[in-house]
Structure formats: C-alpha cells, structure tokens
Structure 1
Amino acid sequence: MASSRASVSYADAARWYCIVFLVLMVVLGSFTEDNSLINKSNPSACDEIYVVGEGETLHTISDKCGDPFIVEENPHIHDPDDVFPGLIIKITPSNPRN
C-alpha cells in the first residue's frame, strides 16, 4: 500500500512540474516579438499594419507609405497631432513608394 501512495505522489509531483513548466513557457513566449505583421528590420517598409516610430508624424508616414487617408482609415486617431511611438495604424497605400 505504501508503494502505491508513493507512486501516486510522484505522479502528482510530475504533473505539477509539467503544469508549472508549460505555464512558464507560455509566459516567456508572450514576451517574444512576432515580426510576421510588422517588418522592423526595414523601417521604410509600409505593411498593412504599421507601428509609428520615434519622430514620425502622420504626414511623414503618409509621404513614406503613399497613404493620404490615414486619419480617415483609423477611427482610433482622434487628434492627428497626438501621434506617439508604438501607435498602431492601418496603411492602405494608393501609390506605394520604394
């Protein structure tokens, strides 16, 4: 009977270690960057999803990406002068520039 309890105890401990390991992997995995939508290696690239960089304005982004309707396409931008690094905007280029 004692060996049966010991094996159950080891199984419970192994299960908890696995749970803790999986939770840790999920938490650590959430801190990695996914560059599939955002191409930060080429700052001049204008993907459909664009992250505003340091010193950029809607005017400079519009010129770079060829999208004159950024404010109209992004209803979350209430004030065109209130643009900050990290703001995510939608880009629909009408005449893409290289």
Structure 2
Amino acid sequence: MSTRVSYVDAARLYCIIFLLLIVMLGSFTEDDDLIKKMNPRVTAQASCDEIYVVGEGETLHTISDKCGDPYIVEENPHIHDPDDVFPGLVIKITPSRLRTHVVTKI
C-alpha cells in the first residue's frame, strides 16, 4: 500500500515540475518581444525579403531605414531616378551587409 502512495506522490511531483517548466518556457517569448520593442531595427530587418515590392507612400529612404539597406539605388540599376518610386515597383534588398567596422581603442 505504501508503494502505491509513493507512485501517486511521485506522479504528482512530476506533473508539478512539468507545469512549472511549461510556464517558464512560455516566459521566454515575452523576453523576445521585449528585445524587439527595445530595438525596432531587429523586427524591421526581419520583415524584409531579398525581393521587396514598394507599398503605398513608401520612399527609398523609408525602405532603406525599414530594411537596413543603405545601398538600394546602387543595387537596383533599373531605378534611374530615386525620387520616382511608385507602389508595385520591385527592388532588390540586401539587409545588413555586415559592413560594420570594428573600432578598437588604443
């Protein structure tokens, strides 16, 4: 009889531990959202594909900021006038080319 009680207690303990783990794992997604809120460029760069279709009211400057690609005009030779951007225009995006320079202090 005592072994049956110990199995029930052990099962109860495992269920409690399992539920606590689920709650703890669920809290990590909130941390991920917090990181995205603190750094809006993280979400912006993630939302741009290599092929981008210009939307209503967008300019090359807003797309560059949104996607993290400051060289849109250079990569798209079909854009002759940077001010002549219209909805539906298809452009190539290369976000964050890792052109960051490491600065070391001496």
Return the TM-score normalized by structure 1.
0.51
Residue 63 of structure 2 is matched in structure 1 by 61
* 1:20-60 Cα distance to aligned partner (Å, 9 max, x none): xxxxxxxxxxxxxxxxxxxxxxxx52000000000000000
Residue 14 of structure 1 is matched in structure 2 by none
Residue 94 of structure 2 is matched in structure 1 by 92
Residue 46 of structure 1 is matched in structure 2 by 48
CA RMSD between the two structures = 1.6
Q: Which has the higher helix share?
A: 2
Count residues in correspondence.
Answer: 53
CA positional deviation for 1:95: 6.2
Which structure 2 residues correspond to residues 22-33 of structure 1 after superposition, within 5 A?
none
CA positional deviation for 1:87: 0.1
CA positional deviation for 1:94: 1.5
Identical residues among aligned pairs (%): 89
Q: 1:73 to 1:95 in 2, by over 3 A?
A: closer
The aligned amino acid for 1:66 is G
Look up the SS of the partner of 1:59 in the other structure.
Answer: helix
Runs ≥4 residues deviating over 6 A: none
Return the TM-score normalized by structure 2.
0.48
Residue 77 in 1 paired to residue 79 in 2? yes
The aligned amino acid for 2:64 is S
